[in-house]
Homo-oligomer: A and B are copies of this chain.
Amino acid sequence: MNTSTTASLNSNKRSMTFDVSVDNVVFGFDGDDLRILLIRQGLPGQDMGQERFHMAVPGDLVLPEEGLDEAASRILSNLTSIKGIFLKQFYTFGAPDRVFHEKDKEWLTKMRRYPDRRVVSVGYYSLVALADYRPKPNSFASQVEWCLLSNIPTLAFDHNAIIDAGLEQLREDVANRNIIFELLPEKFTLGQLQRLHEIILGKTLDKRNFRKNVKRMADVVALDEKQAGVLHKPAQLYTYRRQD
């Protein structure tokens, strides 16, 4: 092969291999607060002397025959044991040193076959209505927890930045598409819908104007059913039905 004619943009001069992973920012709404699914893993081979944990957003290496969306939903269903959840790719994180900070070294060494390999991670976010599906912590030696969005601790790798980027994308998507209903149970009140908007957008909204807007969305239909067992005037229940 004559390199002087075949030299190209697709240079092979230096070659390397990457690992590709998917990290999933899972948002859940419990009726009052927005939460994020985190996994805590004890570092193996320690005698509980000082507890050391690895806290992270759920993620995994992509398998050889697996597409990216597929990997994201596998990761999610391993944790929550439910399927059919809203999932969206939002950004890919590829800084050369993103997994090579001192704090992450121990975990990488113990858990990864090639701890020195550069890892490019494709970020997804997911929306889960906590009221419908109480997800079971299904997984192995790790615990899952729904952490308040306002209370996220320092996480492994660049996962705090991944969450920030996911939240920013969520804000945009809520403004432009009807995805917010993915976070609500099948039956919800207008109060919940408004609170959720306020949390995501980070500002308060006028109740009467908000309800006026909702009333002119054809997709939000009133059920003839009301809240029960609540310590105030029970609210009308609504549901979301995508028009055809």
A137 within 8 A of B: no
The answer on a CB contact under 8 Å between B114 and A15 is yes
A66 within 8 A of B: yes
Measured CB to CB, the closest approach of chain B to A182, in angstroms, equals 20
Q: How many positions in chain A have a CB within 8 Å of any CB in the partner chain?
A: 55
Interface of A (DSSP majority class) = loop
In the assembled complex, which residues on chain B have CB atoms less than 8 Å from the CB atom of A41?
8
Given contacts A20-B94, A96-B65, contact A8 B112 (CB under 8 A): no
Measured CB to CB, the closest approach of chain B to A80, in angstroms, equals 12
Measured CB to CB, the closest approach of chain B to A26, in angstroms, equals 13
Give Cα A96–Cα B79 distance, bound, in whole angstroms. Answer: 24
The answer on a CB contact under 8 Å between B59 and A9 is yes
Bitwise, A143-187 to B at CB < 8 A (1) or not (0) is: 000000000000000000000000000001000100000000000
In the complex, besides A1-B110, A2-B44, A10-B61, 16 extra interface pairs with C-beta distance below 8 angstroms are A5-B141, A6-B141, A8-B41, A8-B139, A8-B141, A9-B58, A9-B79, A10-B59, A10-B112, A12-B111, A14-B63, A15-B114, A20-B20, A62-B120, A68-B94, A176-B176
> Which residues of A does B touch, CB under 8 Å?
1-2, 5-12, 14-20, 39, 41, 44-45, 58-68, 75, 78-79, 89, 91-92, 94-96, 110-114, 118, 120, 122, 139-142, 172, 176
What are 23 A-B pairs at a CB distance below 8 A? A1-B44, A2-B44, A5-B141, A6-B110, A6-B141, A7-B141, A8-B141, A8-B142, A9-B59, A9-B139, A10-B112, A12-B61, A12-B111, A15-B113, A16-B64, A20-B20, A64-B118, A65-B96, A67-B94, A68-B94, A68-B95, A89-B91, A92-B122
